[in-house]
Amino acid sequence: MSNEMKERLVRLAESVAERRDQAAFAELFDYFAPRIKSYLQRLGMEPGQAEELTQEVMIVLWHKAGLFDPAKSSLATWLFRIARNRRIDAFRRDKSALLDPDDPALQPSQPESADDIVEAEERDERVRKAMLDLPEEQAVLVRQAFFLGRSHSQIAEDTGLPLGTVKSRIRLAFARLRRTLEGDGGEMTLH
């Protein structure tokens, strides 16, 4: 591109920025739109998507031409950078295209059988009853660790207890729960 052409494009962009000159914008549109669309297609976009993104780039030019600084780059460089960034944004938004709808991981899981639901409810009830038999100092720590998902060090920090005390109380509570649940006739495994 000749220097005269570059200067003309800069003047047209300044007219758009300063006076919202529609004729200047139309000339810029006619010059850049086909080039930007072609560029986007070379980057792998479908023609319809490339055209839509080109329209967005040209709208940016219409609304934000005042942000263009000819001392930093040519108008072409500025517009193609906008196009590239918009393409990246569109790609990020459309990550769903990367997912295979037939992937087993994306399929809904089978509903639980009635037997499994009943067994889970019975197991939960046995655990609740066994928790009632724990000394309060152990039950509080077990609730924080296993129902609230707190780490032993977080529990120690919150309660002011030494970390070793927290660990040993939880270990004692676990042993007691295991004995209670196994003596209950349930084949309960605590982890």
pLDDT tens across 77-107, in order? 899 899 988 888 887 776 655 556 666 655 5
Tell me the domain boundaries of the chain: 3-97, 116-183
CATH 3.40.50.300 fits 3-97, yes or no: no
What residues contact residue 158 under an 8 Å CB cut-off, 6+ apart?
Answer: 144, 150
What per-residue confidence (pLDDT) applies to 191? 46
- Name the fold adopted by 116-183: Arc Repressor Mutant, subunit A (1.10.10)
What per-residue confidence (pLDDT) applies to 37? 92
- Centroid of chain to Cα 155: 30
Specify the pTM. Answer: 0.49
Which two three-digit tokens encode residue 84?
Answer: 């590239």
How many other CB atoms sit within 10 Å of the CB of residue 82?
A: 20
What per-residue confidence (pLDDT) applies to 188? 47
Q: Low-confidence residues of the chain, pLDDT below 70? A: 94-112, 184-191
Spatial separation of the C-alpha atoms in residues 160 and 6, rounded to whole Å: 71
User: Do the first three CATH levels of 3-97 and 116-183 match, i.e. the same topology?
Assistant: no
